[in-house]
Amino acid sequence: MQSEIFNNGTVYTGSAGLALFYLMRYLKNPRADDNYLKLALQYIDLRNLKGRRISFLCGDAGPLAIATVISYRMGNNRPKSLPDYNTLAQRLLDLISLLKESPDELLYGGAEYLYALLFVKEYVHESDIIASKHIEKVIANILKSGRSFSAQMKSESPLLWQWHDKIYLGAAHGVAGILYLLLQGRSYVNHQDMRSLVKPTLDWLARQKYASGNFPSSLGSSSGDRLVQWCHGAPGFVPLFVLAYQIFEDDEYFKIALQCGDVIWQRGLCTKGYSLCHGVSGNAYSFLYLYQVTKDPIHLYRACCFMEWCAVEMPDTEQHPPDRPASLFEGLLGRLCLAEDISSPEDAKFPAFTL
């Protein structure tokens, strides 16, 4: 079955995405049933890790982090075929050797390596499983890279990153995604860097917003105010500005998140389809983040409307069928995550993005 519906072992389009789905179902209520944990293990394949990519989504860090948590949670019931969680965690730590040659963005880079480390810290309840110094080293590398490129570009933003010779702003490849991971790992960011680097970059990013409330996909983007999807556009900015509002208690950040929500409601039924990355299910999560803060039923209603759109599959609403139709970020599995999360919206988390 795995070879028939998944073309690789990654979280983004491969079998590890299904492992993550089952693992998160288990972690929501670990005392109820360990069958989800056993199912998660079935879809983790550590034999074919390439050792070339560092990220949680498209590299080795995702399968290793997921396997570490599975091994820890199984305890004495761990099968002999699954290594001990300390061994798996060490393999995850060893990936830091790839950090300097990797980009900083989420899909392939250091920001999602940071996510993998924080993921293990969150779900393996041993304080020394991932040393704080290791996380701080990853963050320091991301900040150093951001400062260096900002200085090179003579930017008003103290931090700036590039990917494939473009300065992306959104969640998948750009500033918003990197800042969101830094804010989630804020306990490992020193106060001076938060005050002089992270927050001013956040404020600079806020100023890039279109009058409509949407954001460009990149600086000087030729596509204009067009893309409304998690990877490029307003949906990827909602979690960032909601979290920034909660941390800094600045109402302006939440106003931006609300504006993004209105843009998504007006223009977020993507013709690219129903996926998490660039489709309607990913956009629906924006409303769940807004609902979690406001408890205003309008946001839950909007999320449910988008969920219905994903479930019904009306003719001509998916003009670009996905290459990996079963996968987490491009296919059906993302819709299943949304369906699960929308049933308990207070606890909803965009997969592989929010801890």
Closest CA to 73 of 31, 42, 104: 31
Answer whether 24's CB lies under 8 Å from 351's CB.
yes
Backbone angles phi, psi at 218, to 5 degrees: -155, 165
Helix (H, G, I), strand (E, B) or coil at 163: strand
231 is in an annotated binding site: yes
For residue 163, what are the β-bridge partners? Answer: 166
Answer whether 210's CB lies under 8 Å from 184's CB.
no
Helix (H, G, I), strand (E, B) or coil at 37: helix
**H or E element, residue 281:** helix 280-294
Q: How many residues are listed for the chain in this entry?
A: 355
278 is in an annotated binding site: yes
125 is in an annotated binding site: no
For residues 92 and 89, give the distance between their C-alpha atoms in angstroms, rounded to a whole number: 5
Q: Is the dihedral of CA 240, 246, 250, 252 positive or negative?
A: positive
For residues 182 and 178, give the distance between their C-alpha atoms in angstroms, rounded to a whole number: 6
The first and second tokens of residue 235, run together, are: 């949906």
Find the distance separating the first CA and the last CA of the chain, reported in whole Å. Answer: 29
Residues 239-273: b if buried by 16+ CB within 10 A, e if exposed:
bbbbbbbebeebeebbebbbbbbebbbebbbbebb
For residues 35 and 45, give the distance between their C-alpha atoms in angstroms, rounded to a whole number: 18
The annotated binding site for Zn(2+) is made up of 231, 277-278
The annotated binding site is made up of 231, 277-278
